[in-house]
Amino acid sequence: MASDKVKAVNDADFDATTASDIPTLVDFWAPWCGPCKAIGPVIEDLAEEYAGKANILKMNVDDNPATPGRFGIRAIPTLILFKSGEVVDQVTGAVGKAQLSDLIKKAL
């Protein structure tokens, strides 16, 4: 679920949103996914920690099937880091905050 800190992105605005020079971490998730719910607070923390330095977004894969299909996402949660529209790195599964923070730092 998106919040004040973590914005929702959809198939229609995905390319424009990830084209930024600012690193953009996209959490591909679904409401029925237990591990997705488990990392939700971590995503919120990262959004707060990297406010102004990185964009943290969430995409509901049930509501937006085209974009996950384009990136070959077969398991969720999958988190993909973009910079200037290009994939920098990605991880799959409920990983810890330190690993996600390291991922973002690569693109800063």
36 in catalytic set:
yes
25 in catalytic set:
no
Which listed residue (33, 91, 94, 95) is catalytic? 33
Which listed residue (36, 80, 100, 107) is catalytic? 36
Q: What are phi and psi of 43, to 5 degrees?
A: -60, -45
Strands across the sheet with 86-92, in order? 7-8, 55-60, 24-29, 78-83, 86-92
Q: Which residues pair with 78 in a beta bridge?
A: 28, 92
Catalytic residue positions? 33, 36
